[in-house]
Amino acid sequence: MRSAEIRADARRAMEVCNACRYCEGFCAVFPAMELRRTFSDGELDYLANLCHNCRGCYYACQYAPPHEFGINLPRTFAELRGETYAENVWPRPLARLFARNGLVVSLAAALGIALVLLLAMALQPADVLYGAHQGPGAFYAVIPYGTMVAVAGATFGFAVLAMVLGVARFWRRAGAGGLPRVRPLVRALGDVLTLRYLGGGGDGCNDRDEAFSQKRRWLHQSLFYGFLLCLASTTVAAAYDHFLGLPAPYPFWSWPVLLGTVGGIGMVVGTSGLFGLKLVGDRAPAAPRLLGADVALIVLLGMTAVTGLLLLGLRATGAMGVLLAIHLGFVLAVFLTMPYSKFVHGGFRVAALLRYAMERDTSGA
């Protein structure tokens, strides 16, 4: 089986690295590795998800290709991460979606847009869909409020449930143990919020070649915080609607619009920059099989942000109805594919960082 071969390669690499230890200051993987003499399948899964793919170890390694040992830890761990996503997915029959992830995400985006457009056309006459709507509740003139909430709530709720159960299964299989104490929890939260290990050992990642750069970290931060701001915008808008009786759309200087605008711009900057790095980066330490999944998620998140910003700018025109349907289609695609796309790496990496913080707390590091 492919997963067995990948783990065998990862185990061999870890045994060589544990004997060498030249890269111990590069990231969290090597201090965690040094706490072990042998490597179970669960521990290899943990170390693979602790890796942030900074690639520093590849360019520093004396045993990297063309050496006969052929140690290529970034590629090996990237492939193993892909296996851990598929093996821990919930429900299990959907694990095969990871095999052709780029195609699945693309189809989900197309189907999501088509579904919302058809739904809008079925519920409203053409003059409503293509007409200009202004004032409170203008969006609901195109797609009824109840329909919008029911579809979004069901898909988002299922996505969150599936991701939580998948990460919980990974936590158990990796042998992480019980609940963390406050200190490692705070330490892990700090590592997550700063994306610390996307800075490698401090000098940055090898985004394109042997030269160190913080660019990938900054772009991930732009995407990460942009996404969080967009979630905050939606949450604040829901509070305005349910508790203050103020339905969307809102004026530009309102909190929902400001948060969404800044968040959308951050997502566009992050996704476009990361897409550019995918195009120019060194292919040797990359896993070609996973490139489609990476690009598909970047494009999906980028298009979600772009259509949201276009909707904001043209919401008072006759283009609003179609743009609303297209934007909600991309949002629906994000929700539908969230547990079965590269998006899940966030949950697995948070779990790995938390376990690493627990180990450091136990060892007094």
Residue 205 pairs with which residues in a beta bridge? Answer: 213
| pLDDT value at residue 365 | 63
Residue 129 burial (10 A CB sphere; 0-12, 13-18, 19+) = buried
Burial code (b: 16+ CB inside 10 Å, e: under 16) for 102-115 equals: bebbbebbeebbeb
Compute the distance between CA of residue 44 and CA of residue 248 in angstroms, rounded to an integer: 48
Q: Which residues contact 309 (CB under 8 A, 6 or more apart)?
A: 261, 264, 265, 268
Compute the distance between CA of residue 225 and CA of residue 231 in angstroms, rounded to an integer: 10
Residue 213 pairs with which residues in a beta bridge? Answer: 205
Contact in structure between 268 and 306 (CB atoms under 8 Å)? yes
| pLDDT value at residue 149 | 83
Category of 177 on φ-ψ map: left (φ > 0), alpha (ψ -120 to 50) or beta: left
Compute the distance between CA of residue 250 and CA of residue 77 in angstroms, rounded to an integer: 46
pTM (2 d.p.): 0.91
pLDDT averaged over 10-residue windows placed end to end, the chain, 365 residues: 87 95 89 92 96 93 94 96 92 77 71 70 66 74 80 89 94 78 92 91 84 93 97 94 87 94 98 94 89 88 95 88 85 87 93 93 72
